[in-house]
A and B are shown apart, each in its own frame.
Chain A
Amino acid sequence: MSEERETRIFMISPDSMITPDQLVREVHAMGKEVTAKETCYGTLVEGPRPLVGEVLAIIRERYPYDIYSKVRAYPTGDRRRCRAEHGTRPGYAQLEAEWEMLPLIQHGIRCSENGERPAVPKEKEKLPLEEFKKICEAC
């Protein structure tokens, strides 16, 4: 990972009351030398890696269940990725899909922080052919 630049996506769960605008203002208020750009789902924060890391730590502490994050390869506003330039890249649909799923993850994290123990899922088996045959014959 480049030490010079880190671009991070911060995505607000659809269940949260925090708005992208509010999040951007909070990042600005941290007074770090990073840029924050509002997006439909949250914000893109860009700057030297250690500073972006500090922003991440603060956001994690403030909003442990509401906001999720990953790094982004392309810098903010890169023309190759820019939606306004030529429409959405495939990764956009991916982010949109993950955004919709965040409430489930949010719930999972909350419960697991509260000490709920996970059960190992049962593997679903196919109906044995003999049984299926019997059912067919009975119909």
Chain B
Amino acid sequence: MKVFIDPPNSLILFDLVERFGHEPLGTMAPIQERIDKTEVDMPPMNVSLDDVVKGLKYAGVEVPSGIRGRLALWGPLIEAADAALIMEDPPFNFGCVGCERSNEMAKYLIRRRGIPALTVRYPDDKEEAVMTVGRIKEFLEGLK
């Protein structure tokens, strides 16, 4: 099954979803699609102007361009996902997940779609880590 991961650029979540037998949907694939486009003379850095305009599907023009650009990448992935795995409060959130408003909106879009979603908190210690990984494993193995 296709599982959207949030944060969508997380190595840990990408690895766990793949490890437990599913296809992770993250930011990397749509960015690769864009930068590999050979017909573009100078491939864009992550997104193109068209993408930011397409982002209007998810947020109005009064919303900063950086949010619309991100949502243009994530929106179609969330729409294509069969399930989602969300990690809250990760101590890492850089790169495409550098904007907190975009991150909140991504979580909301997942909820709005009503697909099976597991939300886990980032573990603070070993005990919590066992719990977190265990819950993720259980969730992913339970997806059919």
A-side interface residues toward B, CB under 8 Å?
1-2, 4-5, 7, 9, 11, 60, 68-74, 78, 80, 89-95, 97-98, 101-102, 104-105, 107-109, 111-112, 116-121
The number of residue pairs between A and B whose CB atoms lie closer than 8 Å in the complex comes to 121
CB distance from A42 to the nearest CB of B (A): 10
Complex A-B, nearest 4 residue pairs according to Cβ-Cβ distance, in ascending order: A108-B133, A118-B134, A97-B92, A91-B95
Q: What are 23 contact pairs spanning A and B, CB under 8 A? A: A1-B32, A2-B32, A70-B11, A70-B14, A70-B24, A71-B14, A71-B28, A73-B32, A73-B35, A89-B95, A93-B94, A94-B10, A94-B93, A98-B92, A104-B126, A104-B129, A105-B16, A105-B133, A107-B130, A112-B133, A116-B134, A118-B131, A118-B132
Q: Which of A4, A70, A71, A117 has the most chain B CB atoms closer than 10 A to its own CB?
A: A70
B69 within 8 A of A: no
Decide if B33 is an interface residue (CB 8 Å cutoff). yes
Contact B134 A112 (CB under 8 A): yes
Interface size on B, residues (CB 8 A): 44
Q: Mask for B1-39, Cβ within 8 A of A = 1, else 0? A: 000000001111011101100001011110111011000
Residues in chain A near residue B92, CB distance under 8 A:
93-94, 97-98, 101
Is there contact, CB below 8 Å, between B94 and A94? yes
Q: Is the interface of B mostly helix, strand, loop or mixed?
A: helix
Query: Is B49 in contact with chain A by the CB < 8 A criterion?
Result: no
B18 / chain A contacts, CB cutoff of 8 Å: 69
Is the beta-carbon distance between B132 and A108 smaller than 8 angstroms?
A: yes
Q: How far is the CB of A70 from chain B (nearest CB, A)?
A: 4
Q: What is the distance, in angstroms, from A11's C-beta to the closest C-beta of chain B?
A: 6
Interface residue? B91 (CB, 8 A): yes
Q: Is the C-beta of B121 less than 8 angstroms from some C-beta in chain A?
A: yes
Question: How far, in Å, is B44 (CB) from chain A's closest CB?
Answer: 10
